[in-house]
A and B are shown apart, each in its own frame.
Chain A
Amino acid sequence: MIRESLSGKRVAITGATGFLGTALTERLLRCVPGSEVALLIRPGRRGAADRVRREVLRNNCFDRLRAQVGDGFEELVAQRLHVMSGDVGVDGLGLDAQGKDLLASCQIVIHSAATVSFDSALDSAVEINLLGPSRVAETLKDLQPSRATGSDSPHLISISTAYVAGSRRGSAPEAALSDTPWSTDVAWRPEVAAARRARADQDAKSRESKMLAGFARQARRELGAAGTPLLSARAEKLRDEWVHDQMVALGKARARGLGWPDAYAYTKALGERALLESRGDLPLSIVRPSIIEAALAEPVPGWIRGFRMADPVIISYAKGLLREFPGVPEGIIDVIPVDMVVASILAVAARGPLDEPDVFHCASGGRNPLRYRRLVDLVREWFQENPVADSSDQPITVPEWSFPGRQRVARQLERAGKSIGVAERVLQSLPVRGSRAELSARLEERHVEIDRALSYVELYGAYTETEAIFSVERLIELFDSLPEADRLEFGFDPDVLDWRQYCQEVYLPSVVSHARVRLVGSASRSSAPGGLSRSERGRRAVLSPDRQLAVFDLENTLIASNVVDSYSWLATRHESGWDRTRFVARTLREAPRLLAADRADRSDFLRYFYRRYEGAPVEQLRADAWEMFSDLVITKSFPAGIRRVREHRMAGHKTLLITGALDVVVEPLRPLFDEIVCARLSRRGAILTGELEEAPPTGEARAMIMADYAQANGIDLAESVAYADSASDLPMLEAAGHPVAVNPETKLAAIARRRGWHVEQWPKAPGGPRPLLPIGPRR
């Protein structure tokens, strides 16, 4: 019946890039051969059609159809799949004339576009979830005159959520909210206005001078002396994020205040009300799924798209991160496989509209409940059999859950987060680098994980504590009305779900592979793509023959030394015993001040520090620098770093050194590099004046130098590699296609980790001499 009824129909779908939308599109194309599909897609950078190709058709959802029709896939798509560029966030859907014609030609419109993220900002949830359905309805009404005469109005099927019922106990009927007892009645128009205003208010607040100063401070804390352009960009991003966070918090607060678990359910509920008001006489059905999860059978068991709600919670649990998760043991976790939702929608579409809008629940709780305790047992059992591997390939033991209250879990996590935060701040304030800095980055990662776990508890806790039971009488009635063949092919009776089989054979394997978590005994990481470890792949990538340029910082990237070291070496080279001692004492006294000056602004520091060279004889300095090359530079070099420079040269890449060190000091390194950009002091006759000839290459100037060099040599910066150790080199690292953090200090370690940059730990020559103080050798 379903196939016959939908054959010859054109079905419009919104939200096709989403989980449900993709499944719907695929099912129609594969199982209803006579149908046509029209997708309303928000155009990306390369247009709507391109987005469909890349974000919908390339999904593995279509693998089965591809295998079925072979070479005919393109043709099938060309004939039966149409694309209109539009946006449900805009009144009139932003359709062009062509799009309008296409939409007008559809007999069925399935609106499944929504922002499903449970922590979306209030105003964007309002625009999409609350206003979206009405906009679709309004547009369809507007298009009515342009439809072929005599044709009926299209059937609008709006996808909502079972949780519009709110945080309630007992049965929730399949009925419009207005006909549902205990449902919250809120006028939706003032809510829209308030949400829009809230955005403006928060934005204004974020621009107050105190706030701006705070963002600037935080940017500086994160990036250090990375230069003005990067710091201001970061501060602006922080401001943006702050406004977003405020909007998320507002959404949550408003939703909870009105009796919904979150902004998603709240905006969806008001969206239903708005839709019923604005539909006029447009035929309407509302389908309310509960938590949509991996496919039971169609297109393949376990098919899933994106990270679904329960998935991150389960993965955090398997990683031993979430040691407890709140919930009522006998509470119902209402999960429904995506293919059942798709089948229900198609059945509703095939049946056609009734005179009055009607509502269906797509949920399992009413008919075949999955209790929270049972779910936890199934998950635990499975992960005991198939434990996740930790970084050293040891199995992670999953904890036993005691079903605590939400408050207790939240408190525990907050405490853990706080203590890690303290450790993190202490580490960040220390001048550590290399593996110790890595520790701090790991702590930060742990912190992020705990924060995330905390947000799961906050967000999803409500769902594990839900005590509402979504009645599915109307859905089952619809199912029973179907002929036998349809019931087999388009099954959606949740009664058939065997939770053990679904959980352990379909759902968990799919989640694990989707999350790219490695199980013990599964293919080890080293036999992962290309049979190489992550760091080895990173190394190969930077040394690939495709690269063209390798740019290096010097201090702490290639040698464990700095301008102060080289100055004191050179200064003591010709001093006698007592003067050397005095000099060392003086330098030690000055060290903290110098360090602070360097952290504040590298250019100013160099300018200030190099004044000490005033009056130094050039020729002697040059000769001494050659001696220092052995005694200090090579002694304190990182042999692996020097080897890397040479490997780049051997691979045919250009090598460029950019450093704030003095020309005489780096002169002996010349054979390693095609070009050296360094600081130069001006001279008066045979002595130095202590003044720089031009601004020293620091911060964003390094990125400019790199770009200029690349341009002059016809090099593509995307094919360049940059090596540096500190956040003050960020502009240079960001300019390169392949940034590498070398022995990073804490800030850079955190940034590199977050952005997935290749990190190298280059030690000094093992067991080599470690001069205590950088002083010239005694005569």
Chain B
Amino acid sequence: MTRPGFVLEVDRSTPPILTWHGEGYRLERLPPGRSRVIYPPEATEALSDPDRAIREALLNPLGDSKPLPELLSAGMRLTIAFDDISLPLPPMRRPDNRQRVIEAVLDLAAGAGVDDVVLICALALHRRMTESELRHAIGDRVYDSFAPSGRLLQHDAEDPDGLVHIGLTDAGEDVEINKRAAESDLIVYVNINLVAMDGGHKSVATGLASYRSLRHHHNVKTMRHSRSFMDPEHSELHSSNWRMGRLLAASGVNIFQIETTLNNDAFPASAAFLQKREWEWSLRDRAGFVASSKALSVMPPRSARSMFQAIKAPHALTSVHAGEVEAVHAATTRVVHRQQLVDVQGQTDIAIFGLPHICPYNVNSIMNPILVMCMGLGYLFNLYRGMPIVRKGGVAILSHPTPWAFHPVHHPSYIDFFEEVLSETTDPAVIEAKYEERFATDDWYRHLYRTSHAYHGVHPFYMWYWGAHALEHLGRVVVVGGDPKAVRRLGFSPATTLADAFEIASDVVGRDATISHFHCPPIMIADVH
């Protein structure tokens, strides 16, 4: 039995707390008497025989689904769709869940004599994966048997010939998804469920959808009404995806959903201190912290970045469920909650979010300022159930170097968004109304999305909308240790040290403000009562 997460009240004897700072971390002392630290639960136990668990799940589906072998027959069209590079974080060691599951599915398909099998990476509007990234996700064996014959595809949300419009939901939302998938006799969706937002109907309805379909839930209004989008029951984003998923099912699109969960063992043993409670650090952990911080402080940012990019998490499979989408996802969510939920009593005036080096959109890439905003105010802020850990009108303090840096291949439209849009306004609603369409329908961005490895032109807008709920909720956002110019462009206040940040925050929340330090990663969900 692993220890659950808990909340530490900071007193005079509390050691400094590890605070992430991009490609690095700092130890920060918090004001005693009015601060608390929210720790995630420790990694839950892994399945002892993952491959057997997978086979059993395929043979014993949930909901009204038949076992997978009964759904497979010679002459059928089978499409296996799988989650892309944005999952899990950090990327897991080989073999990846997707490889294990896909190999198991392919075994059954081969046994049933299915010839027409296509693999599709469910990119939505994300960048196309590179060959080495694909090999890492699905394994060399699968890659080598599908890629050369052109049967390993990456979803293209802008291919006019590769999409099919299924219909409108009763809320009037367009449902338009990948044509090959829609016209298959069966879609097997292979998911990795890292956070509660993933999976369920979102897998196909978002992962294989077009811009025309996505814009119905990826918008400011939806995001402001998803409180939070990490809590499916209170997420408008999910309601919309569920409506779409049900329309797909009603329209005869057969989906066999396979969801896997991971424990939150995010860092290798050499960096174990990153997920340990500070007072439990051994001599080795301390040495590891000192040595790595020293090394990082003298390292050029590019080298630090490659060092962090090389981290492969020892994440282990904790559950696998297969069958009908909603039944599978309900079971998955229970497992995710068991790993991630932490009881938190009440809100505080200030929340501190140390931002790590990685978010779903900069794997093997650069966390640019827009992604900093999205990671802090989109992801970490929304990792709550009930209510945010910071009160309405409170202050969020983000810790991240926020360099004025962009990956030219992955984030071309981000560069222009930062230069052209954020220099004019940071108001999500204005941005949406005034600029979204131009970026979303831009030929050059479309070209880069389709042929290079670029996120879709509209993607930076979504990142900004992701933080819309937080922007509305918060009184101020302070970024510690960021490039002041970039931070101001985001509409936030730059601070050099955490103490300065408290000083700046005091204008909004007073001198004796209460503080929560959200000790993430590893990932958790604050269950705030």
The verdict on A642 contacting B412 (CB below 8 Å), with A629-B452, A767-B366 known, is yes
Bound CA–CA A668/B419 (angstroms): 24
Contact A639 B408 (CB under 8 A): yes
Q: Is A768 an interface residue (CB 8 A)?
A: yes
A626 contacts across to B, CB distance below 8 A? 451
Contact B443 A634 (CB under 8 A): no
The verdict on A767 contacting B406 (CB below 8 Å), with A630-B453, A642-B412 known, is yes
Contact A639 B448 (CB under 8 A): no
Considering the complex, which residues of chain B in the window 401-417 have a beta carbon less than 8 Å from any beta carbon of chain A? 403-409, 412, 415-416
Contact A637 B408 (CB under 8 A): yes
Contact A765 B415 (CB under 8 A): yes
Q: Is A643 an interface residue (CB 8 A)?
A: yes
Considering the complex, which residues of chain B in the window 259-284 have a beta carbon less than 8 Å from any beta carbon of chain A? none
Q: Which residue of B lies closest to A778 (CB)?
A: B132
The verdict on A769 contacting B407 (CB below 8 Å), with A629-B452, A634-B452, A668-B451 known, is yes
Contact B444 A672 (CB under 8 A): yes
Contact A767 B409 (CB under 8 A): no
- How many of chain A's residues have a CB under 8 angstroms from any CB in B? 24
Smallest distance from the beta carbon of A627 to chain B beta carbons, Å? 9
Bound CA–CA A640/B447 (angstroms): 18
Complex partner residue of A630 from B403, B405, B416, B452, CB under 8 angstroms: B452
Binary interface profile of B, 431-462, with partner A (CB < 8 Å = 1, else 0)?
Answer: 00000000000111001100111100000000
Bound CA–CA A637/B301 (angstroms): 20
Smallest distance from the beta carbon of A647 to chain B beta carbons, Å? 10
Q: Is B3 an interface residue (CB 8 A)?
A: no
The verdict on A639 contacting B403 (CB below 8 Å), with A630-B452, A767-B301 known, is no
Bound CA–CA A646/B457 (angstroms): 14
A698 contacts across to B, CB distance below 8 A? none
Smallest distance from the beta carbon of B310 to chain A beta carbons, Å? 15
Contact B407 A765 (CB under 8 A): yes
The verdict on A764 contacting B408 (CB below 8 Å), with A642-B444, A646-B444, A769-B302 known, is yes
Contact A634 B412 (CB under 8 A): yes
A640 contacts across to B, CB distance below 8 A? 419
A764 contacts across to B, CB distance below 8 A? 408
Q: Which residue of A lies closest to B442 (CB)?
A: A646
Q: Which residue of B lies closest to A634 (CB)?
A: B409
A/B pair count, beta carbons within 8 Å:
66
Bound CA–CA A626/B444 (angstroms): 15
The verdict on A634 contacting B419 (CB below 8 Å), with A629-B451, A767-B366, A767-B403 known, is no
Complex partner residue of B404 from A629, A766, A769, A770, CB under 8 angstroms: A766
Binary interface profile of A, 307-351, with partner B (CB < 8 Å = 1, else 0)?
Answer: 000000000000000000000000000000000000000000000
Binary interface profile of A, 617-645, with partner B (CB < 8 Å = 1, else 0)?
Answer: 00000000010011100111101101100
Q: Is A671 an interface residue (CB 8 A)?
A: yes
Bound CA–CA A208/B54 (angstroms): 92
Q: Which residue of B lies closest to A636 (CB)?
A: B408
Bound CA–CA A631/B453 (angstroms): 9
Considering the complex, which residues of chain B in the window 324-382 have a beta carbon less than 8 Å from any beta carbon of chain A? 366, 368
Contact B302 A770 (CB under 8 A): yes
Bound CA–CA A671/B442 (angstroms): 11
Bound CA–CA A174/B452 (angstroms): 86
A643 contacts across to B, CB distance below 8 A? 415-416, 419-420
The verdict on A767 contacting B412 (CB below 8 Å), with A626-B451, A630-B453, A671-B447 known, is no
Binary interface profile of A, 763-779, with partner B (CB < 8 Å = 1, else 0)?
Answer: 01111111000000100
A637 contacts across to B, CB distance below 8 A? 408
- How many of chain B's residues have a CB under 8 angstroms from any CB in A? 26
A634 contacts across to B, CB distance below 8 A? 408-409, 412, 448, 452, 454
Bound CA–CA A764/B408 (angstroms): 8
Q: Which residue of A lies closest to B127 (CB)?
A: A630
Contact A765 B444 (CB under 8 A): no
B442 contacts across to A, CB distance below 8 A? 646
Contact A639 B404 (CB under 8 A): no
Bound CA–CA A672/B452 (angstroms): 14
Contact A639 B452 (CB under 8 A): no
Q: Which residue of B lies closest to A764 (CB)?
A: B408
Bound CA–CA A646/B409 (angstroms): 17
Q: Which residue of B lies closest to A670 (CB)?
A: B447
Considering the complex, which residues of chain A in the window 136-164 have a beta carbon less than 8 Å from any beta carbon of chain B? none
Complex partner residue of B407 from A642, A668, A768, CB under 8 angstroms: A768
Bound CA–CA A252/B451 (angstroms): 69
B452 contacts across to A, CB distance below 8 A? 629-630, 634, 668
The verdict on A639 contacting B415 (CB below 8 Å), with A766-B406, A767-B404 known, is yes
Among the interface residues A631, A637, A766, which one has the most CB atoms of the partner chain B within 10 A?
Answer: A766
Binary interface profile of B, 82-96, with partner A (CB < 8 Å = 1, else 0)?
Answer: 000000000000000
The verdict on A639 contacting B416 (CB below 8 Å), with A767-B366, A768-B405, A770-B302 known, is yes
Contact B408 A765 (CB under 8 A): yes
Q: Which residue of A lies closest to B446 (CB)?
A: A671
Considering the complex, which residues of chain B in the window 385-399 have a beta carbon less than 8 Å from any beta carbon of chain A? none
Bound CA–CA A160/B337 (angstroms): 101
Binary interface profile of B, 120-152, with partner A (CB < 8 Å = 1, else 0)?
Answer: 000000000000100000000000000000000
Smallest distance from the beta carbon of B468 to chain A beta carbons, Å? 26
Complex partner residue of B405 from A646, A671, A672, A766, CB under 8 angstroms: A766
Contact B443 A671 (CB under 8 A): yes
Contact B409 A639 (CB under 8 A): no
Smallest distance from the beta carbon of B134 to chain A beta carbons, Å? 13
Considering the complex, which residues of chain A in the window 266-293 have a beta carbon less than 8 Å from any beta carbon of chain B? none
Smallest distance from the beta carbon of B355 to chain A beta carbons, Å? 16
Q: Which residue of A lies closest to B412 (CB)?
A: A639
Smallest distance from the beta carbon of B442 to chain A beta carbons, Å? 8
Smallest distance from the beta carbon of A136 to chain B beta carbons, Å? 64
Smallest distance from the beta carbon of B471 to chain A beta carbons, Å? 25
Contact A635 B408 (CB under 8 A): yes
A770 contacts across to B, CB distance below 8 A? 302
Complex partner residue of B406 from A636, A639, A646, CB under 8 angstroms: A639
Bound CA–CA A766/B402 (angstroms): 12
Considering the complex, which residues of chain A in the window 577-632 have a beta carbon less than 8 Å from any beta carbon of chain B? 626, 629-631
Binary interface profile of B, 72-87, with partner A (CB < 8 Å = 1, else 0)?
Answer: 0000000000000000
Contact A671 B444 (CB under 8 A): yes
Smallest distance from the beta carbon of A631 to chain B beta carbons, Å? 8
A646 contacts across to B, CB distance below 8 A? 442, 444
Bound CA–CA A634/B445 (angstroms): 12
Bound CA–CA A769/B410 (angstroms): 11
Bound CA–CA A635/B130 (angstroms): 15
B454 contacts across to A, CB distance below 8 A? 634
Binary interface profile of A, 744-771, with partner B (CB < 8 Å = 1, else 0)?
Answer: 0000000000000000000011111110
Bound CA–CA A156/B412 (angstroms): 76
Bound CA–CA A766/B443 (angstroms): 24
A631 contacts across to B, CB distance below 8 A? 409
Smallest distance from the beta carbon of A664 to chain B beta carbons, Å? 14
A765 contacts across to B, CB distance below 8 A? 405-408, 415
Among the interface residues A634, A640, A643, A767, which one has the most CB atoms of the partner chain B within 10 A?
Answer: A767
Bound CA–CA A67/B355 (angstroms): 69
A769 contacts across to B, CB distance below 8 A? 302, 407-408
Contact B415 A635 (CB under 8 A): no
Considering the complex, which residues of chain A in the window 651-687 have a beta carbon less than 8 Å from any beta carbon of chain B? 668, 671-672
Considering the complex, which residues of chain A in the window 355-372 have a beta carbon less than 8 Å from any beta carbon of chain B? none
Bound CA–CA A642/B407 (angstroms): 14
Q: Which residue of A lies closest to B405 (CB)?
A: A767
B301 contacts across to A, CB distance below 8 A? 767
Bound CA–CA A565/B251 (angstroms): 52
Q: Jot down 11 A-B pairs with beta carbons below 8 A, ordered by A.
A: A630-B452, A630-B453, A634-B454, A639-B415, A643-B419, A643-B420, A671-B443, A767-B301, A768-B366, A769-B302, A770-B302
Nearest 8 CB-CB pairings of A with B = A767-B405, A765-B408, A630-B452, A639-B415, A671-B447, A768-B408, A634-B409, A765-B406
12 extra A-B contacts, CB within 8 A, seeds A631-B409, A646-B444:
A626-B451, A630-B409, A634-B408, A646-B442, A671-B444, A672-B444, A765-B405, A767-B301, A767-B406, A768-B406, A768-B407, A777-B132
